[in-house]
Amino acid sequence: MSFCKVWIRVPLPVEELRSLERRFPNVQFACGDDAGDVSGIDAVFTDDPLPDEMVGRMDKLRWLHVMRGGANAYLTPAVKSRPILLTGSKGIHGRSFSEFAIACIFTLAKKLPQCWENQRQRKWRRVQTEELEGKTVGIVGLGGVGSELARKAGALGMKVVATKRVVEGKPDFVDELGGPEFLPALLSRADFVVLCLASVRSTEGILGEKELRTMKPSAYLINLTGGKAIEEKLLVRALKEKWIAGAALDAFPRQPLPQDSELWNLPNVMISARIAGAMAQSWELLMPIFSENLRRFLAGEELRNVVDKERGY
């Protein structure tokens, strides 16, 4: 491709932009929230979904690259209806998500929320903590995030059982792996159930009353990514009635979580505002993926991390 116009719709540091300009001299880069006349733009690098009205004015748009691994939110009707390639930054958040999950597991096992509450009340109360070695973590969704979590949990001496949509061989760091049909067994045996699911329609409501009641009363639920995997009212009921011991929630059906949600006031719940995948500096991980795909795009080669528009990931 002799000439290409790319809109960088993310807060790209100046040094990263200069590096792109040096590597791709035949590319015109437009930066910022306003690219002016968008009719001549061939590709967009964005963090926020493009409005359908804007896509309708982008006659030449053929490629959309997003900063996140999960890209379902970017599959607007306008993007799905046209032959626009959508690629994601799959794999860059495995470290941060898995570290957050481990932090939640430790926090729940060592009863730190109770310790903090005792401190707030100036009460000298002892709590009964749990050791992690020998416990079982059940990972629902052994993708990039789930695999990183499995490695870390195994290093702590935990047993790892997991599910995956398509099973093509079990990694050495996983004790047992099964397809969707393995979910009931996983739920019944895990001391910590961690949801590492893509936020797509096929995962909505994957944990209903039957599944939550299958979990051990002593087990904890950690939801990292599947905001709509559990209906909120059902989860509140499960926590109130002690079907499970507690939960650490970073993903919710309603985001941000409204002030009227009962989840805020439950003593056996930890709530965080979608921080599991947050990284202080991610350009060193993001830019190699985007740069390589831009090279492929210009050369007419197959792009990496292409999102299946039907599956949403």
Tens digits of residue pLDDT in 139-160: 999 999 999 999 999 999 999 9
Residue 280 pLDDT exceeds 80: no
Residue 254 has pLDDT above 80, yes or no: yes
* Confidence at residue 266, expressed as pLDDT on a 0 to 100 scale: 96
Q: Distance between CA 96 and CA 136 in Å, rounded?
A: 21
Q: What's the whole-model pTM score? A: 0.87
**Which residues, 6+ apart, have CB-to-CB distance to 177 below 8 Å?**
142, 161, 162, 163, 164, 167, 170, 171
User: Under a CB-based contact definition with an 8 Å cutoff, are residues 198 and 313 in contact?
Assistant: yes
User: pLDDT of 105-132, one tens digit each?
Assistant: 999 999 999 999 999 999 999 999 999 9
Percent of the chain whose pLDDT exceeds 70: 99
Q: Which of 92-101, 151-160, 238-247 is least confident? A: 92-101
Query: Which domains are present in the chain?
Result: 4-91+280-299 (3.40.50.720), 94-271 (3.40.50.720)
What pLDDT score was predicted for residue 1?
65
- Is 90 exceeded by the pLDDT of residue 72? no
> In this predicted structure, what is the pLDDT of residue 71?
82
Nearest to 221 by CA among 207, 201, 203: 207
Provide mean pLDDT across the span 273-301.
90
What span, in angstroms and rounded, lies between the C-alpha atoms of 202 and 226? Answer: 11
Q: Is the pLDDT of residue 217 over 80?
A: yes
Residue 302 has pLDDT above 90, yes or no: yes
